[in-house]
């Protein structure tokens, strides 16, 4: 997943009912594991639901086990049956436990004969946390409804009954029925010339964890970008997206040169409607991407580099638990930087790394000590909250430190061997460290002590000797910003005509949290940032304008908040508005108009923020 910039949904206590194997799952993989999913789905747009049949192939680990325990959330179970080798079906007794707010409902199926397969017929809820159903009016072309999933972290259970833990990997087949003229895509190899005949079949031959199970359906056109890559998007968007992502094949080849073969076959990109709550999601074979990166100059295509890099770190090797998620995101962010550097130069790669580092440095002081660790101690952390700046940016900073100490060639060879050794496995931090010590630290003595490694992984904060990338352009921007704020350089004299997106982001990030109103007005008069189509720049600009008290920017900020459902680009504006009574009232008005176009996760985040602000006013 593309960086969230610590926009977590609020720390939640770990439910005591969760099983010890994974605190976020009821599954008991020590007794039985799902190895394959055969999925049949019918899309029902009017009812906003999936009618499903999930047949789970089981590997019984404990000969004394007599029950299969699955994760579900808001599923209506119609029947559960055992299926023998000959296809004979036998009804099974089952119990659906009361709904837990975080985990959903435990489904316990009595299986005294330990069958080879169990088949569950079910229907999803219109409010399924892992699905969003959009009417035509909320799509780009406004012609057909649209549906897409977001299973990470623990939302797959809201549309398929399964063992919803990253430690459990399975292959899958799926047959999907959809209305005519609707294209369906899944996290498996997709056929770009498939007829729109209402029936789609998919086969994922590589074992994946449940959070990488994905589906989308709507008015989708396809434009190929290479021999093994294509862009899927609504017809009015697909051309722009194909241009923005035309370097995809080059990215794949670059990553292969660095870290070994791309093992998934095709790599396609699906550009979703603006309500998608994240930057990107690394679903195997089919990255789901936000349209907010389509700015026309390829300045934000590191999103593709990031999601592609997950094909090695995250999808090929998966964190065994959400506590270990830095193994996915930290390594991926490092690999993303290497791909960006190879294709777009050291300048852009270093600027993006420094933006990540500064974001982390800003967030760390307000984080609990446990949240500052790459591998936290057991505590009160929600699965979604594990996706923080620490996992992404401290993790990648650790890898850059290893590269600096051991040399790029040595570290590249090590990382390639790591990907080969653990391919298609889910591992813990400790397994990664057990491989790191003999194959890098001990193999090249004197480069880095084991105590330093442990400080990076288990310590709080950032080690004092962490290396910083160099950026002459950022150094120049620091000088200009200081002169502007001191009044010795006017806004129109800023040397900003040639600034790229990252440099504008850095300039705005370095302004005071609540800059003087006059200064903001001078910048806008000179550079016309209000109304910018670049969402990264816009998010930063509107937050500063709101904090400065510039109500003239509020209508454009509202348009940004209504048009974009991505958490990272929307939540900071709400957070800035709710600080004042007038701003809180305005935020509520904007949300009332925007709510229907937001993903359930975005709705949850905004409503929680507004409720907290209103409670604080009383």
Residue 455 shares a structural domain with residue 495: no
Residue 447 shares a structural domain with residue 483: no
In a domain, 590, yes or no: yes
pLDDT for the residue numbered 448 = 98
d(CA 177, CA 492): 58
Residue 362 shares a structural domain with residue 428: yes
Residue 487 shares a structural domain with residue 428: no
| SS3 assignment for 523-589 | HHHHHCCCCCCCHHHHHHHHHHHHHHCCHHHHHHHHHHHHHCCCHHHHHHHHHHHCCCHHHHHHHHH
d(CA 314, CA 327): 7
Q: Which of 429, 449, 469 is a domain's end point?
A: 469
Q: Which of 469, 496, 530 is a domain's end point?
A: 469
- In tens, the pLDDT along 357-405 reads 999 999 999 999 999 999 998 765 555 555 689 999 999 999 999 999 9
Residue 400 shares a structural domain with residue 493: no
In a domain, 584, yes or no: yes
pLDDT higher than 80, residue 8: no
Starting at the edge strand that comes first in sequence, how are the strands of the sheet with 215-218 ordered?
A: 131-134, 146-149, 215-218, 183-186
In a domain, 128, yes or no: no
Q: Which of 469, 495, 525 is a domain's end point?
A: 469
pLDDT for the residue numbered 600 = 84
pLDDT higher than 80, residue 409: yes
pLDDT higher than 50, residue 5: no
The CATH number of the domain where 230 resides is what? 1.10.390.10
pLDDT for the residue numbered 599 = 86
Residue 443 shares a structural domain with residue 508: no
Residue 429 shares a structural domain with residue 531: no
Give the structural domain span for 369: 1-17+220-469
pLDDT higher than 60, residue 439: yes
Q: How high does pLDDT run on average in the chain? A: 94
Of 20 and 415, the structure prediction assigns the larger pLDDT to 415
Does residue 352 carry a catalytic annotation? no
Residue 454 shares a structural domain with residue 511: no
In a domain, 64, yes or no: no
| Per-residue tokens: 420 | 């080969």
Residue 276 shares a structural domain with residue 346: yes
Residue 351 shares a structural domain with residue 477: no
Residue 374 shares a structural domain with residue 451: yes
d(CA 490, CA 346): 30
User: How many structural domains is the chain composed of?
Assistant: 2
d(CA 275, CA 291): 9
Mean pLDDT of the region 588-609: 93
- In tens, the pLDDT along 188-235 reads 999 999 999 999 999 999 999 999 999 999 999 999 999 999 999 999
d(CA 286, CA 307): 10
pLDDT higher than 50, residue 15: no
**Nearest CA-CA partner of 167 in 433, 429, 386:** 429
The CATH number of the domain where 606 resides is what? 1.25.40.320
Residue 397 shares a structural domain with residue 503: no
The catalytic position among 152, 234, 307, 341 is 307
Does residue 607 carry a catalytic annotation? no
The catalytic position among 262, 267, 392, 568 is 392
């Amino acid at each position: 997943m593309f960086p969230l910039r610590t926009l977590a949904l609020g720390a939640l206590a770990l439910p005591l009912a969760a099983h010890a194997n994974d605190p976020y799952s009821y599954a008991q993989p020590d007794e039985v594991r799902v190895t394959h999913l055969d999925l049949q789905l019918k899309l029902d747009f009017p009812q906003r639901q999936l009618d499903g049949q999930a047949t789970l192939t089981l590997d019984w680990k404990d000969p004394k086990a007599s029950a299969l325990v699955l994760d579900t959330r808001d599923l209506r179970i119609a029947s559960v049956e055992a299926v023998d080798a000959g296809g004979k079906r036998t009804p099974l007794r089952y119990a659906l436990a009361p709904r837990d707010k975080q985990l959903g409902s435990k489904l316990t199926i009595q299986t005294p004969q330990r069958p080879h397969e169990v088949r569950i017929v079910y229907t999803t809820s219109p409010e399924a946390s892992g699905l969003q159903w959009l009417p035509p009016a909320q799509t780009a072309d406004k012609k057909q409804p649209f549906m897409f999933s977001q299973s990470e972290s623990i939302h797959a259970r809201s549309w398929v009954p399964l063992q919803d833990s990253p430690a459990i990997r399975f292959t899958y087949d799926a047959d999907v029925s959809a209305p005519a003229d609707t294209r369906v895509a899944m996290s498996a190899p997709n056929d770009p010339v498939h007829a729109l005949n209402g029936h789609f079949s998919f086969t994922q031959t590589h074992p994946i964890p449940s959070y990488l199970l994905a589906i989308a359906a709507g008015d989708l056109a396809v434009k190929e970008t290479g021999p093994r890559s294509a862009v899927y998007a609504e017809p009015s968007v697909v051309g722009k997206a194909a241009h923005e992502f035309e370097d995809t094949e080059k990215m794949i080849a670059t990553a292969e040169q660095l870290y070994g073969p791309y093992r998934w076959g095709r790599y396609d990109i699906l550009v979703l409607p603006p309500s998608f709550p994240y930057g990107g999601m690394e679903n195997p074979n089919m990255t789901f991407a936000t349209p907010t990166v389509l700015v026309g100059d390829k300045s934000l295509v590191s999103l593709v580099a990031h999601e592609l890099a997950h094909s090695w770190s995250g999808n090929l090797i998966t964190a065994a638990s959400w506590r270990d998620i830095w193994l996915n995101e930290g390594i991926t962010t490092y690999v993303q930087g290497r791909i960006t550097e190879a294709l777009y130069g050291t300048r852009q790669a270093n600027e993006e790394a420094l933006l990540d580092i500064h974001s982390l440095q800003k967030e760390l002081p307000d984080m609990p000590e446990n949240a500052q660790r790459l591998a936290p101690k057991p505590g009160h952390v929600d699965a979604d909250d594990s996706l923080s700046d620490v996992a992404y940016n401290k993790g990648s900073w650790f890898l850059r430190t290893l590269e600096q100490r051991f040399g790029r060639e040595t570290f590249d060879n090590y990382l390639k061997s790591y990907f080969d050794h653990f391919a298609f496995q889910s591992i813990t931090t400790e397994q990664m460290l057990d491989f790191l010590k003999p194959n890098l630290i001990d193999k090249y003595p004197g480069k880095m002590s084991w105590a330093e490694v442990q400080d990076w992984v288990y310590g709080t904060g950032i080690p004092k000797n962490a290396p910083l990338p160099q950026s002459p352009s950022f150094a120049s921007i620091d000088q200009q910003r200081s002169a502007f704020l001191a009044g010795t350089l006017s806004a129109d004299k800023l040397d900003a005509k040639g600034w790229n997106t990252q440099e504008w982001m850095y300039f705005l990030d370095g302004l005071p949290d609540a800059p003087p109103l006059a200064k903001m007005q001078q910048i806008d008069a000179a550079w016309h940032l209000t109304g910018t189509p670049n969402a990264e720049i816009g998010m930063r600009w509107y937050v500063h304008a709101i904090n400065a008290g510039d109500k003239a920017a509020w209508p454009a900020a509202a348009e940004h908040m209504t048009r974009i459902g991505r958490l990272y680009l929307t939540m900071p504006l709400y957070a800035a508005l709710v600080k004042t009574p007038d701003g809180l009232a305005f935020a509520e008005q904007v949300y009332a108009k925007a709510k229907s176009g937001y993903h359930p996760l975005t709705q949850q985040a905004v409503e929680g923020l507004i409720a907290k602000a209103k409670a604080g006013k009383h």
